[in-house]
């Protein structure tokens, strides 16, 4: 009877030990992957799609956009300066900021007009052409606002800054829409260095 008890104890020990060892495992078990249907491919076996390289005319459009962006940055700088002067409630500082805004509007106009001349929306197709056209319309709107900014910037800086800020926001919205449609796979080439 004693040997039967030892056999029973040994059988129970062999049965319980593996489940006890599994309970002690600290590594998380990974779920088994589901089998893929026959008509699909694995994600890592497919090469990522690369956007088409821009044409020479599209690169010209993007260079023009970069030039326009320099003018927009000057406008934004002038508007920010007026905004800071308004917060300080210093009349002299506000007048000086308005004069600076008027001057920056003049230089911004030259950058925007030069860049706009290179931007032809017809170089894009389909929805990208629509977004490029909307962006050009917003740039034209900014360029038309600038002469009034130059003339009245020193006299009524807060009102002029508000008008320019509204146009800048419309431009930034159009620019964001354009960037979502047109992915630039390569950096925009700059001017040729000699």
- Establish if 80 belongs to a structural domain: yes
pTM of the model: 0.66
Domain that holds residue 105: 56-181
- Establish if 69 belongs to a structural domain: yes
- How many Å apart are CA 73 and CA 75, to the nearest integer? 5
Q: Confirm if 75 and 168 have CB atoms less than 8 A apart.
A: yes
**Angle subtended by helix axes 126-152 and 91-117, to nearest 10:** 140
- How many Å apart are CA 76 and CA 53, to the nearest integer? 32
- How many Å apart are CA 190 and CA 66, to the nearest integer? 9
Express each pLDDT in 73-124 by its tens digit. Answer: 999 999 999 999 989 888 899 999 999 999 999 999 999 999 999 999 888 8
Domain with 123 in it: what CATH number?
1.20.120
Q: How many percent of the chain have pLDDT more than 90?
A: 45
- Establish if 16 belongs to a structural domain: no
Q: What's residue 55's pLDDT?
A: 85
- Establish if 24 belongs to a structural domain: no
- When divided into structural domains, the chain yields a total of 1
- Establish if 92 belongs to a structural domain: yes
């Amino acid at each position: 009877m004693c040997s039967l008890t030892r056999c029973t104890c040994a059988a129970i020990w062999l049965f319980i030990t593996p489940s006890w060892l599994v309970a002690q495992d600290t590594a998380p078990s990974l779920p088994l992957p589901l089998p893929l249907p026959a008509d699909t491919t694995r994600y890592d076996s497919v090469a990522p799609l690369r956007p088409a390289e821009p044409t020479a005319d599209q690169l010209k459009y993007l260079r023009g956009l970069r030039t326009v962006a320099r003018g927009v940055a000057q406008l934004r700088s002038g508007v920010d300066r007026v905004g800071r002067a308004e917060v300080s409630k210093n009349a002299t500082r506000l007048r000086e900021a308005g004069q600076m805004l008027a001057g920056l509007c003049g230089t911004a106009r030259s950058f925007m007009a030069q860049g706009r001349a290179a931007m032809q929306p017809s170089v894009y197709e389909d929805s990208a052409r629509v977004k490029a056209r909307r962006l050009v319309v917003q740039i034209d709107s900014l360029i038309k606002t600038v002469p009034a900014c130059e003339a009245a910037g020193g006299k009524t800086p807060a009102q002029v800054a508000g008008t320019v800020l509204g146009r800048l926001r419309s431009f930034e919205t159009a620019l964001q829409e354009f960037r979502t449609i047109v992915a630039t796979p390569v950096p925009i080439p700059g001017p040729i260095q000699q």
